[in-house]
Structure 1
């Protein structure tokens, strides 16, 4: 176990050095800072459009649609398979290829097993129907 004599002593906090470190950090941040002024609407938010004033001619003008905005909105509402070439996350890998591997053919008896009723199942089906009808009439 170390005694007090063997433990290294910590220097007291020097405010001048702390201020110099802060100034250096701020200088580095301002050198790498970029001002982003290209503002647009968030395409992942639900848009709520408000109707214009009843007698206003400004709102009824045609040709005011922004094609870039419409392109961004349409792309945001697409499925991930249509937006990206490959899955972006591990969770997207599940179900990425959602087309069936085998064509569904109803005539192929190896893969299609339609419901088949025997005499017993037909009898029990009729009995259940009769029981339900009598219960509903009461």
Structure 2
């Protein structure tokens, strides 16, 4: 019966040493030693926040007015940011001022809750 390996014999120690030397030479030929390291410009860098009690957090830096204005404008309501609605869904409820002033003495448009014997 033939062996499962296809009938190949195991190489002797001299052949194994020659194959190993050839493999090491090929690996050394294609290896390159890197001594200069840089940041990959194609990969995003995640910055780590500083510790709140460290000394460089306590340095007073001048505030950038342009950035602060942009930051405060982004937090505004859409009706205060824009003169017209920017999307179709903003059109609903864009005009929030009532068409006529509220008059609490006019019983046609003002229906307060009333307490009667029936509702008690």
Q: Give TM-score scaled by structure 2 length.
A: 0.50
User: How well do the aligned residues superpose, as a CA RMSD in angstroms?
Assistant: 2.1
- What is the CA–CA distance in structure 2 between the aligned matches of 1:96 and 1:59, rounded to whole Å? 43
Indicate the SS of the match to 1:100.
coil
Change in Cα spacing, 1:103 to 1:63, as seen in structure 2 (3 Å) is farther
- What is the CA–CA distance in structure 2 between the aligned matches of 1:52 and 1:111, rounded to whole Å? 57
Shift of 1:97: 0.7
Higher-Rg member (1/2): 2
Residue 73 in structure 1 maps to residue 68 in structure 2: no
Moved segments of 4+, more than 3 Å? none
Relative contact order (C-alpha < 8 Å, sep 6+): which is higher?
A: 1
Residue 98 in structure 1 maps to residue 96 in structure 2: yes
Map of 1:104-119 to 2, 5 A cutoff? 104-119=102-117
| Structure 2: segments with no counterpart, 5+ residues | 1-48
- Which has more helix, going by share of residues? 1
| Structure 1: segments with no counterpart, 5+ residues | 1-48, 123-138
Shift of 1:75: 0.8
Change in Cα spacing, 1:108 to 1:66, as seen in structure 2 (3 Å) is same
Map of 1:82-93 to 2, 5 A cutoff? 82-93=80-91
Indicate the SS of the match to 1:68.
helix
Match of 1:44 in 2: none
Q: Aligned pair count?
A: 72
Match of 2:52 in 1: 52
